[in-house]
Structures are given as C-alpha cells and as structure tokens.
Structure 1
C-alpha cells in the first residue's frame, strides 16, 4: 500500500508571553496561514500557550512566586475555551494541529502540566499528552504526567506521534511510539534553555535538540518535525525587568533553538528557522520510511522480543477515585424546604 506525500508546517514562533488569549489569537493566525500555503499539518512548540517558564531557570524559587501565579493564571483547561478556539480553527481551515500548552485542572488551583494536543482537521482531539517528567527546574512549575498520551494517532496523512522536549531523551518513551507504527514524529522544544554545561559555557540546546530528534528519526525510520519556540524582544524585556546582571547575561548568551525537519535517515530537509520568526515548511514522502527499515527495524525483525519485554501503562492518573452510592438513594437537596 502506497503511503501519502504530505506538506507540513512548523511555527517557529514566540508566545505572547504569559498572555493566553493573545497566544490563542496568534496560533489561529498561524493555522490560517499554514493552511493557505497548502500545509496539511501545522505544529506549535512546547508550552506555546502561554510561553515557556524561562524564569524558573534564572532565579531561586523564592523569587518566582509571582511568576508561578501568572503562569497558573494563564494555563488552560484541555476542554476550556482556548483549546476549543484552536479546535475550531483546525476545523475551519481543514488542517491537523499539534499544540503545546500549559494545562490546568479542576482538581487543584495550583497544579499544572506541560501538555500537548493533536487535533484533526475536523477539530477532534486525537491525543492529549502530559509530559512524563518535568525536566530540571521545570519540576518547580509542572507536575509529572502519565502514560495516557503515549499514543500514535492514525490520520489521513499518516501515523503521528509527539513527545515534549526532554522526553525525546527517553529511549523507552520514543520506542513506545515507534512500536505503534509511527510515520511522523513531532518533538516540541522551548526557544531557550538557560543553564550551563561543564566548563561554565551555556548549554547548547541547538545541538542537543538536533542530536535527540535525529536519533529518533534514524532509529525509528520516521520523518521528524523538530519544532522550537522563538525568543522575541517583548519576552526578553519582561524577563530582564529584574535587573539581575547574571540572568541578563545568560539570556543574552544562551543559544537560540532552531526549527528543522528530518528524514528517516536523520538528515535535515526543508526549511530551517532559528533567528527569525515564521512558518517553516517541508514535504514528506512517507514511502521513504520503508527502505531504511530493511537495515534496522527496531519494532520488527531487528529486535529480540524474547529478551526484551516492555510494558507501557497508559492509564490516566486521577488524584482520587470516588465510589458514590446509588444516586437513587441520595436525598433530593432541591426538594428540601426553604429556610425561613
């Protein structure tokens, strides 16, 4: 059976920092533009709504309480009006959308997750994933997710899977998607990752992202969309208001991430964007996934399933399980007499 050839887009875009409503409007604009240019899939970076919590890397937690409150205030429910607006845009423009967002929950006013949704061209949510493990300083912002979203979605343009940032360092998470017949792998990244590597130099997220995304494309023999955010001046201005010279130096000198596309050998194809904001495009002929599997098919013959046995728990974790009595046996509170 012949596989399709598809045009895909990735938004190398800056969030309207800590402003969920403006982020939604910007996302809808990019969705319309990508569809008008013939893309059948458009991808957004990690935590595009409302922006990546760079502040957690710059200052000790005691200085970040106000930032956390702002982040929670601008996080969104997966069934809330913001995601509904993105779903409507996908349906209106008949395009598949992958979106990174900070997710809130009715179970707690302070719990948020680093999440991603895949939405089809009819506006249906195909998959809802919460990042398994917040990375490094992200642990001061986001809660750990679960395995429920480790799913590959079968779409008219191929089988699509997605992981968020550091999850692409986890070979078992990546394998769980490869084992579901993935054709297109989305890896979502922040625009900047302020830290240092041994020797005092800033962590080279440009190289690190490329290595991890390339490894998955090569190992799973899939096309990759390496989609990073963009740092704009408004975001920098907000973060630099502290006046902390160390933080300002780190912000100014940390490498900016790039948005790229990879073929099933791990080679770059299509557009690359790093120092300018916009939509990047590539064309994937999914039939090109077939021949490389003749060399190594890690979910087929190039494995030893008698030696390795991987179990994936995809149950959605809930904070509590309530076992209510029969509703018919409950008192009808609405029928109680009014108080004088």
Structure 2
C-alpha cells in the first residue's frame, strides 16, 4: 500500500441521456487523469447517463418520454460499456470510482463501482435509499453496499449524495477504517437556491464526513451548461425550470477537514488533483475517532445488518431442517416462559 496517493476528482458535464457518448467521455477523463499522475479518479453520482433532472422539474405525465430514454441509456454491470471502462482502467493503470444508473432486470439502481488498476471490480454497491422523487425511478439497496474495501491504494469506500446525511450509514462506514472516501454528488447546477440542496450545504456535508471519519474525502460533481439545460426542456421548449447554472464543486478534504485543492470555477469542466499523505489520518484520529477511542458503546451502539438481501429464496438451497422444525418443536412450544425480574 502506498503512503501517498495522487487522486483526481471529476467536475464535468455528462452527455445527457447518451450512454455511449458519456462512456467515451469517461475514458477520456481517465486518460487525462492518468497522464497527470493520478492513481485514482472519482466520478459523480449517476455520471452515466447523467443525473435525471427531469424528476425534479417535470410532472409525472411529462416525464414518460424521459424515463424511457433514461432506462434505454442505463447500463448493466456486465455491459459492453462497463467492459470498456474496465479495460481502460487496466490500460492507464488507474483506479476508478464510477457512479452510474444500473439496469438490473426491470429495475434501475443508483450504483457505484470501484475498479482497481488491473481492471477488476472490487466493489459494486447501490444507493441504500434514493432521495425523495428519486424513489419513483430507482430501487433501494441493502446493507451489503455499506462497505470499505482493501486496495493497493488503501482502504476505499464510496457513498452517493444524501447518504452523507444518514448518520447511521456514515457511522457504519467510519467503523471500517476508511482512508479514502469518494462522495459522489449529482449536478449541483439545479435547485442551487434551495438551502438544503445548495452547493454550500453539500460541501459542508462532505467536509464533515472527512472530520468525523478521519478520512480523505474526494467530492465529484456534475455541472450543467445552458445547452445542457435544454436536454430537459419544458413543454414550451424552454430550459429545465430548476436550472441554476454551473454546479461544479470538485474538491478534496483532509482528515482534519482541510481543503486540499484549488477550486475550479463552478461552470468550468476539468479535474482537480490532490496528493494524499496517510500520515495525516493518524494525526487526525489522535484527537477525534468517533468509532474508536472517542466512542461510548456502553451508551450508544449501532445495529448494522450487512447481509445481502434477495426478494426470492429458493427452498432447495435452504438447510434440510427448516427454521420452524428447529425452533417450533413440541418441546419448545411446551416450555414455560422464563419470568423477568422487574
């Protein structure tokens, strides 16, 4: 494992609702990051095929055509597009944290994968609970995606968007001794005037994660241009009514909450780079380690179920003795309840 890691955070506009074109742009950004010495590149939430802005700006009736196009331009984990990105990761010897709309059967999920420098997928996760109107398009996940993985670059994990406002989800991540966290955010150029959704609030969430978790946090965001706003026109042919412009806030924060990167203009596409010295984690946790010496498990503790869940369990794969046979036997049913001292 390297003691110092060079990372790149993406601040760019997807080719809205275009799977193949955004895949090509993804690979171009990977090459650019690698040529600048980056060992890891972080992409925004639902980077491919772009965040579904129409969910917030159009009535349900008006969304139908957008939903069909969005589904058609989402990708499965075994798609040709994922294969191309994996091959590029190997070619450029760069690890990738990618946010995308995942198609699995008849459902969509807000997914993230971590691809290592050899092109192997070392983590595949989905957003635990989509936010507000996102739930009309995307399905939920389970606790198996709240996970930090060992890589050649260190212990890496990722969350999407408002998962950074779920205190228990964050705490489950903090307990896994993260060193690099990727915060995937959508286009911040929409509804930026709403305080809870403003770039300032979102960056504060990212910075807080770094401080609480004692980890480096890399934030990646989409931007939206005037032309991009026309990808989601109103019935009258006007730009998306929630468009507020720009929205680029690619950053890197240190484990003591220090901003490590020079911000780009919010309307400018590009990459920001940071060199991460893991010694800073040790120093930060001497002061504050909420999942370690600064915890009080005798007072508060987290119940965390990280088992994968499935909607169907095939009975032939269950043990021969069923749960009912083992636990509801006649002897068990005849047992007197044990009194509880009050």
Structure 2 counterpart SS, 1:271: coil
Q: 1:169 aligns with which of 161, 165, 170?
A: 165
1:141 is the counterpart of 2:120: no
| Cα distance between partner residues in 2 of 1:85 and 1:264 | 34
CA distance in 2 between counterparts of 1:194 and 1:40 reads 31
What's the C-alpha RMSD, in Å, of the aligned pairs? 2.0
2:292 counterpart residue number: 300
CA distance in 2, matches of 1:308, 1:80: 43
Q: Distance in 1 between matches of 2:149 and 2:219?
A: 18
Partner of 2:119: 123
From 189, 202, 222, give the equivalent of 2:185: 189
5 Å-filtered alignment, 1:150-299, equals 150-192=146-188, 194-195=190-191, 204-240=197-233, 242-243=235-236, 248-251=240-243, 253=244, 256-273=247-264, 274-299=266-291
| Cα distance in 2 between the residues matched to 1:67 and 1:208 | 29
Q: How far did residue 271 of structure 1 move?
A: 3.0
Q: For 2:175 and 2:196, locate their aligned partners in 1 and report how far apart those are by CA, in whole Å.
A: 31
2:103 is paired with a residue of what secondary structure?
Answer: strand
Going from structure 1 to structure 2, the CA distance change for 1:157 and 1:26 (only over 3 Å counts) comes to same
Q: 1:132·1:147 contact (CA, 8 Å) conserved in 2?
A: yes
* Contact 1:261–1:269 under 8 Å retained in 2: yes
Structure 1 Cα separation of the partners of residues 282 and 196 of structure 2: 35
TM-score relative to the length of structure 1: 0.87
Structure 2 unaligned segments of length 5 or more: list them. 318-342
Q: How far has the Cα of 1:319 moved from its partner?
A: 2.7
1:333 maps to which residue?
none
Q: What's the TM-score, normalizing by structure 2? A: 0.87
Distance across 2 between alignment mates of 1:39 and 1:215: 25
Structure 1 stretch 58-67 or stretch 254-263: which is displaced more? 254-263
Q: CA deviation at 1:92?
A: 1.0
Quote how far apart the aligned CAs of 1:310 are.
Answer: 1.4
Alignment length (residue pairs): 316
Structure 1 residues 35-44 or 169-178, which shifts more? Answer: 169-178
Matches within 5 A, 1:324-339: none
Alignment correspondent of 1:331: none
Structure 1 residue matching 2:218: 3-state secondary structure: strand
Runs of 4+ in 1 over 6 A off after TM superposition: none
**Superposition pairs for residues 84-95 of structure 1, below 5 Å?**
84-95=83-94
- Conserved? CA contact 2:128–2:141, under 8 Å: yes
Contact 1:17 1:234 in 2 (8 A): no
Q: Which runs of 5+ in 1 are unaligned?
A: 326-340
Question: What is the rounded CA distance, in whole Å, between the counterparts of 1:35 and 1:218 in structure 2?
Answer: 28
